[in-house]
Amino acid sequence: MPTKAMFLMIKQALQKPFTNPFPVKHAPVNVTALIEKVQKGEVQIYPPIPIPEEFRGKIHYDPERCIGCRFCITVCPANAMEWIPELRKIRHYVSRCMFCALCVDVCPGKKFPGEEKPVKALSISEDFLLADYDKYSDNLIEEPPEAKEKGL
């Protein structure tokens, strides 16, 4: 007895795949060779699906705007913020972050002369490809540049 499900499945087989084959349609045999080919422009990769307007990606930290109020440390549920007492600034570990963006909501920011409104030190970026081998790599820690120079 033919059922509705049978027709659905036959219809499915004739349609284009629903998912986005990012970055390439089939898993490559040699990944390094594929990356080289992409860099030379021989192979085209499928772009990722565009992210929505208010997507919560990696937190960006601007130490110039930070006033050292420590509100972000108070509210952060994952304890991803570390206080640097010598500089009165914070260090943000992206590997611990859970992307709730509470710190962005709570950040008062700083007003430079000539500006009408204060600009927040913490902001949400659209960055979401964060895979790394080392959780303490430079890509995954947001800190003031002086902290790195002085080794704090």
Question: Per rule CB under 8 A, is residue 74 in the interface with other proteins?
Answer: yes
Separation of alpha carbons 72 and 45, rounded Å: 39
Q: Within positions 2 to 21, which residues make up the interface with other proteins, using CB under 8 A? A: 3-5, 8-9, 12, 18
> Which residue, 18 or 133, has its beta carbon nearer to other proteins?
18
Among 24, 35, 84, 102, binds other proteins (CB under 8 A): 102
For residue 45, what are its two tokens?
């990769």
Look up residue 147 and give its amino acid.
Answer: A
Question: Per rule CB under 8 A, is residue 77 in the interface with other proteins?
Answer: yes
Question: Per rule CB under 8 A, is residue 42 in the interface with other proteins?
Answer: no
Among 1, 29, 129, 131, binds other proteins (CB under 8 A): 1
Question: Per rule CB under 8 A, is residue 73 in the interface with other proteins?
Answer: no
Burial code (b: 16+ CB inside 10 Å, e: under 16) for 8-40 equals: eeeeeeeeeeeeeeeeeeeeeeeeeebeeeeee
